[in-house]
Structures are given as structure tokens and as C-alpha cells.
Chains A and B, each alone.
Chain A
Amino acid sequence: MLEIRNLHARIAESGVEIIRGLNLTVKAGEVAAIMGPNGSGKSTLSYVIAGREDYEVTEGDILYNGESILEMDPAERAAKGVFLAFQYPMEIPGVATMEFLKVAVNSQRKARGEAELKVPEFIRRVKEEAASLGIDFAMLKRPLNVGFSGGEKKRAEILQMKLLEPKLCVLDETDSGLDIDALKVVADGVNALRSPDRAMVVITHYQRLLDLIVPDTVHVLYKGQVIKSGDKDLALELERDGYAGLIGEAA
């Protein structure tokens, strides 16, 4: 479903290369965990997949269902089913959360040639999903993410994911900032979306998330490359030994 080939990406403004020849394949139905030390390029990779302009791809390709997405803007990618749950969701003053959700859901439906959701139907769905994630509906009347606590922002990301029903979900440290109960709620939300036609890329530093969302594959990112791939046991090894050994090997 996702195939990244020899990807090189740099910061557009400074030209500094962050992703340096990265290869990664994630199949439909698979949950791939990405781990790696701070600053290794995990978030950058997620942004490049989503199409953020701040980064420039200089070499390689990203194929989604066999098709290169590099020429598509973020909205086109999203309409095709790519979703990024942000490590740091942005606060957007003045844009009401409900209005945003409605426009997002209907934009994607329109791009796919489906009919727009009627308002009552839309509200019913939001209420249902919000309740399952322990989100207070009143919060959604506020401007998007503005003044939401760290955990509320992460839940709101998952709410968006559930409403948009994407095919490729990239979750960037969705576990950070969540309390133990919230972690469970969010993991349940993510697991509910696991399906044979959907792939997930879960970026995390911690085994506690991978205990709840059990990955099929684990990949270690270091200096913009995948330096090791394995199954879920690789995460357990890392939890025990840290990255030092691996990094030494790679060097």
C-alpha cells in the first residue's frame, strides 16, 4: 500500500537534508511501528508523506497503491486516503472545530464523488465518535484545538481520523501527552480502525503503546534512514537495550 524508495528530502528553506535514502514498505492490513531517537527524522517523514511544502524531495519516490504521490498537494493526498495524526496538532483560532470537521468530511466525500453528509447525520456521527473517545461534545464548539489540553488535542486527532476513515494512517507520537486511561481509549479507537484494506504507520518512543496497538513490523529510523526492521520483538529489544548498540552497528 505504501512503498517508499530511496527517499531523500531536505528542508526547503535551508537545504539541510533530513531524510537520507529511506526505504520502507507497508502492506495493506499491516501496522508498522517506527521508532528511533529524537531528531532522527520520524516527524519529517510523516510530513513528507502528507505533502508539507516545507520539505523538498530531491530523490526517490513515495508510492501509494502503486502511484507516486509526490506531485499531489496535501488535500489531494488526503482525499485519496492519506491521514497524518500530528505530533503537535496546530491551534487555529477563529475556525470552529465542528465547521472544520464538516468541511473536511464533505470535501473528501466530494473529491471521491460521494454525496455530502446531511447536517443531522453528520452531527450524529460526530457525537457517536466523540463519545467513544471520551471527548466532551462542548469542546467541539470551540475553535480548532485552541486551548485544548495536550491529551484533548491527541484525542481530537483520532476523532478526525475516525470521521475521515482514511486508508493510510500515520500516527506521530499519538501517545505522548496522554494519561494512562486516555492511552487505552485512543488505542481502542485506533484498533477499531484496523482492517485488511487499511495500513497504519505508528511512530512512537514507547512499548506501552505497542502493548496496546500490537504492530506487525517495527522499523528503526536513524539519521533519515531505516537502519533495522523486524517484528514486534524488535521493539521489546529496544525497550531493554536502547538504541546505542544498533547505532554502533549501523555506523
Chain B
Amino acid sequence: MNIHSTPKLTAAETALIDAFGERFSELPGDATVAVKRDDAVEALKAGLPTRRVEAWHYTDLRRLLTNVPGYDSTLAARAKPALLAGSTVLPVLNGVSGAGASIDGATVTRLVDKLLDGSFAPALGPREPADTVGALNTAFVADGYFIDIAAGAEIAAPIEIQNVQAGGQTHSRFPVRVGQGAKATIVERQTGAGNALTSSISHLTLGEDAELLWIIVQDQPDGATCLSQFNAELAKGSRLTLFFMNAGSKLVRQEIRVRMPGEGADFKLRGINLLSGDTHCDVTMMLDHLAENTTSTEIVRNVANGAAKGVFQGQIKVAKDAQKTDAKMACNTLLLSDEAEFSTKPELEIFADDVACGHGATVTEIDRNHLFYLMARGIDEKTARGLLVKAFVAEIIEELEDEATVEVLEGILDDWFAEHV
């Protein structure tokens, strides 16, 4: 997908191509899936994207992707307790789905079945030449879940997609369809042990007037690579809140691609990136307002320590017909060390004339005066810094309102802070 010819493949590129040669015969799918896989690998053979590819400008994947462990079916991953009490857990353990659970108002199918019968083939493939995550995943995807929520269903218990790694590499997909007027909460966890290479792609179609909260928590170990993509399509009057929290991995590329072709649809993005060590985390959002009266707000808060590098690319396109669009994007960063860096690239492309769109970005440090005030009350420096960091990100969590959810997510924040700051 790198249009410039790359003379020599990197070790990681070679490892990926070799892995495909070795794995191909075992990868599930009919002939239509196999064709998609072959095409995808051809794209990979052209080399991983460098910073010359605009979408990857801040994340030179060719240089940064060094961790390509082999596929290892002997590794065992263990399911974890649900993040939110009472959830229905759908585990994918080291790349393999369990039996589909039965949920009132929803059907759950193992994705491997939809690869075997070829019905999922049309959804495969990179979405554009620079869609490396899509290509990589298409080449190797082996499993996942298809979740189909019936029209009008109100599913009280959250459904947790638990993607647990044990090392090696895994590639999964999670198509989710939410019927008209349905309501649900989905938790997507990218977690595990071992320094795995993971690609994970979800596809959400939200029916008319449906309402969904999707929570992504990524807390892979410090050496992991997590490449993910969240795709969503919002029908008329539907409402989606996507909350994400990155609190792990050495290399993260998280793409959020949302299309709003339905009039009056609303999208809220609330994200927290907790970065430490020498990690690199890139969150790239591509949002299309395609119909009238669509609204969106995006708030991303980043805390960066050590020599971590973070990126948020936020692209909002407003189509000619999407009059009265209201879109507001903010990206706020708290730097805890001199070496940490965060780059923000907002991009608004507006073709309608009657819209309200805005964006803002700030980078701050801990306010020394605030720190003094807290310490003057006997709060030791580490605890005081912790309170101020929490103050910076917690309001994003508190917006979720549900007390139990807020408590669990703030707990992850506290744990991260205790370990990394």
C-alpha cells in the first residue's frame, strides 16, 4: 500500500509474509475469502506505510513495527472476569472464539463460520490503499463474533467482547448489527499476557433510532502491538457513544471510522490515552457527516509520561447535503515529563454552508501552584500528582454516569497511575 516502491523488506514485513505462507492452508474461509486474503498479502508485500503516506505521517509503521511473533496455537489464554459486573462475556482466547452465548434479543455467531461459508467475504479487504490494518487483518483473520441485536430489543446487561491474547499473533473481526430502536452496551476489551501482535476490527451498523454505548478498554502488556479499527455506520436518529481507554501496549494504532448517513444521528467520542515508557499510541478518527442535522462531539484526553509519543488525528468531513451539522472536537494533553510528546492533527473538510464546526487542542503540564496547594495540606507529591492527573481525565469517565461503570474505569486509571507515574 506504500505507493513508493520499497527496495528491501524489513524483518517485520518478511515475518508477516512468511507467516502468511505458513498459515494460509489453515486459515478458515471459502474461495471468495481466499481471494481477499491473497489480494491483501499483495498489498503487504509492497511494504508497510512510512511517514510519507499521509494517514501514517505520525506513525511510521515500517519503522515502528518490530514485534512480529509467530502464530502459536499451543499458547492458552484464559478468560477474565467481566469488566462490568453482570455482563455477558464473549471470549476470543488467543484468537479463537468460544461457543456463541445466548442473549435475549440478540444472536451471537462465531465469525469463523461466516468465513467458512464465505458470507463475510464482502466485508473483507482494505478500505483504501492506506488501510494497512484492514489489509493485515484480511490476510490473517481467523475468528471473532457476529452479534446481531434485534429491532426494539433493550439489552440491559452489557455484552463484553473479550479479546484475550497469550502471545504470538491474532487477527479477529467483530461485526455488530443493532436493529431499529434497539438499546445496548458493548464492551470491547483488548487485553492479555505476552507481547502479542493483535489486529482487531469491528463493524457496527446502528439501525434507525437505535442507541448504543460502546466501551473499548485496551490494557495489553507493555511490549504488545495493538492495531485496531472501529467502523460504524449510523442510521437516522441513532445515537452512538464510543468511549475508549488506552492503558497499555508498546505500539497502538487505533482507527475510528464513523459514517453518519442518517439524518439527525448523533455521535459522541470520549477517549483517554494513558501513555508511558517508550510507547507509541496513535488514535486516528475519520468522521463523515453525510446527512442533515447530524451532531457529534469528540473529546480526547491524553496523559503522557516517560518518553511516550502520542498522536490524535481527527478528521471531520461534512458533506454538501449535511446542512445544520454540529461538530465539536477537542484534544487535551497533560504532559508529565519533558520527553513525552503528543501530536494533534485536526482536519475539517466542510462542503455544506450552514454548519457549526470547531476544534481545539491544548497541551499542559501539572500546575505547580495546584500541586503546592495539595501538598500544603499534607498530601505527598505522588498522591497529589495522582489527584491532578485524575482530575484531568476523570470528567470524561464521569460523563458515562452509570456509577458502577465509572468506578471500574476510574479503577483502571488509578492502577495505571500507581504503576506508571
Q: Do A and B bind each other?
A: yes
Which A residues form the contact surface with B (CB < 8 A)?
Answer: 50-54, 73-75, 77-79, 83-84, 86, 89-90, 92-95, 99-100, 103-104, 107-108, 111, 143, 160, 164
Stretch of B27-35, B52-60, B342-350, B370-378 lying at the A interface:
B370-378
Chain B residues, CB < 8 A from A107? 377-380, 383
Q: Does A51 lie within 8 Å of B383, measured CB to CB?
A: no
B377 contacts A160, CB within 8 Å? yes
Give the residue of A51, A52, A78, A143 whose beta carbon is less than 8 angstroms from that of B377. A78
The stretch of B147-155, B163-171, B221-229, B385-393 in contact with A is B385-393
Closest B residue to A81 by beta carbon equals B378
Number of A-B contacts (CB under 8 A): 75
**Contact between A73 and B378, CB atoms less than 8 A apart:** no
Q: Collect the chain B residues with CB atoms within 8 Å of residue A78's CB.
A: 375-378
CA distance A129 to B394 in the complex (A): 28
- A86-B373, A92-B373 known; A100+B381 contact, CB < 8 A: no
> In the complex, what distance in Å separates the CA atom of A92 from the CA atom of B370?
7
Which residues in chain B, 355-376, are within 8 Å of chain A measured between CB atoms?
368-370, 372-376
- Chosen A-B contacts, 30 in total, with CB atoms closer than 8 Å, are A50-B376, A52-B372, A52-B376, A53-B368, A73-B375, A73-B381, A74-B372, A74-B375, A74-B376, A75-B380, A75-B381, A77-B376, A78-B378, A89-B373, A90-B370, A92-B374, A94-B391, A95-B390, A100-B374, A100-B377, A103-B379, A103-B387, A104-B378, A107-B377, A107-B379, A107-B380, A108-B378, A111-B380, A143-B391, A164-B377
Contacts of B373 in A (CB 8 A): 86, 89-90, 92
Q: How far is the CA of A90 from the CA of B374 in the complex (A)?
A: 10
CB neighbours (8 Å) of B380 from chain A are: 75, 107, 111
Inside 8 A of A104's CB, which chain B residues have their CB?
374, 377-379
Do residues A79 and B388 form an inter-chain contact, with CB atoms below 8 A?
no
Residue on B with the closest CB to A166?
Answer: B378
Q: Complex: how many Å from CA A143 to CA B387?
A: 12
Q: How far is the CB of A120 from chain B (nearest CB, A)?
A: 19
B18 within 8 A of A: no
Please tell me if the beta carbons of A94 and B374 are within 8 angstroms of each other in the complex: no
User: Majority SS of interface residues in chain B?
Assistant: helix
- Most interface-central of B372, B375, B378, B380 (chain A CB within 10 A): B378
Min distance, Cβ A167 to any Cβ of chain B, angstroms? 12
* Contact residues in B for A111 (Cβ distance below 8 Å): 378, 380
Residues of B that sit less than 8 Å from A by CB: 368-370, 372-381, 383-384, 387-388, 390-392, 394-395
Least CB distance, B372 to chain A, in whole angstroms = 5
**Beyond A52-B372, A53-B368, A100-B387, is A94–B392 a contact (Cβ under 8 Å)?**
yes
Q: Which chain B residues lie closer than 8 Å to A93 at the CB level?
A: 391
Residues of chain B lying within 8 A (CB to CB) of residue A95: 374, 387-388, 390-391
Inter-chain contacts of A84 with B (CB < 8 A): 376
Smallest CB-CB A-B distances: 10 pairs = A94-B391, A78-B378, A74-B375, A108-B378, A104-B377, A75-B375, A90-B373, A95-B391, A74-B376, A75-B380
Task: Closest A residue to B384 by CB, please name it.
Answer: A75
Assembly CA distance A108 to B378 (angstroms): 6
> What residues on A are CB-neighbors of B387 within 8 Å?
95, 99-100, 103
In the complex the two chains form, what is the Cα distance from A79 to B380 in whole Å? 9
- Minimal beta-carbon separation of B23 from chain A (angstroms): 48
Tell me the minimal C-beta distance from A108 to chain B in angstroms. Answer: 4
Enumerate chain A residues within 8 angstroms of B374, measured Cβ to Cβ. 92, 95, 100, 104
Given A75-B375, A86-B373, A92-B391: 17 more A-B contacts, CB < 8 Å = A50-B376, A75-B378, A75-B379, A77-B376, A78-B375, A78-B376, A83-B376, A89-B373, A92-B373, A92-B374, A94-B390, A95-B387, A95-B388, A104-B374, A108-B377, A108-B378, A143-B391
Considering the chains assembled together, what is the distance between the CA atoms of A93 and B380 in angstroms? 19
Contact A103 B394, CB 8 Å, known A79-B378, A111-B378: no
Chain A residues with Cβ below 8 Å from B390 are 94-95
What residues of chain B lie closer than 8 Å to A143, measured between beta carbons? 391
| Chain A, residue nearest B389 (CB) | A94
Q: Identify the closest chain B residue to A92 (Cβ).
A: B370
Closest to A74 in B: B375
Give B55 Cβ to nearest chain A Cβ, in Å.
Answer: 34
Task: Find chain A residues with CB under 8 A from B375 CB.
Answer: 51, 73-75, 78
Most buried by B among A53, A79, A95: A95
* Closest residue on chain B to residue A108 by CB atoms: B378
Knowing A75-B380, A78-B378, say if A53 contacts B372 (CB, 8 Å). Answer: yes
Chain A proximity of B381: nearest CB distance (Å) = 6
B369, B375, B390, B395: most-surrounded residue (chain A CB, <10 A) = B375
Chain B residues within 8 Å of A52, by CB: 372, 376
Q: Return chain A residues, CB-CB under 8 Å to B395.
A: 94
Q: What separation, in Å, do the CA atoms of A39 and B370 have in the docked complex?
A: 23
Q: How far is the CB of A174 from chain B (nearest CB, A)?
A: 15
Give, as a whole number of angstroms, the nearest-CB distance from B302 to chain A: 15
- In whole Å, how far is B365's beta carbon from the nearest beta carbon of chain A? 14
CA gap between A86 and B395 in the complex, in Å: 27
| Cα–Cα distance between A54 and B371 once the two chains are bound (Å) | 12
How far apart are A169's CB and chain B's nearest CB, in angstroms? 12
Pick the most buried of A74, A78, A90: most chain B CB atoms within 10 A of its CB. A74
Complex: chain A residue closest to B386, CB-CB: A103
Distance in angstroms from B255 CB to nearest chain A CB is 29
Q: Which residues of A contact B376 (CB under 8 A)?
A: 50-52, 74-75, 77-78, 83-84
For A50, what are the chain B residues with a Cβ–Cβ distance below 8 Å? 372, 376
Enumerate chain B residues within 8 angstroms of A86, measured Cβ to Cβ: 373
Q: Which of chain B's residues have a CB closer than 8 A to the CB of A54?
A: 368
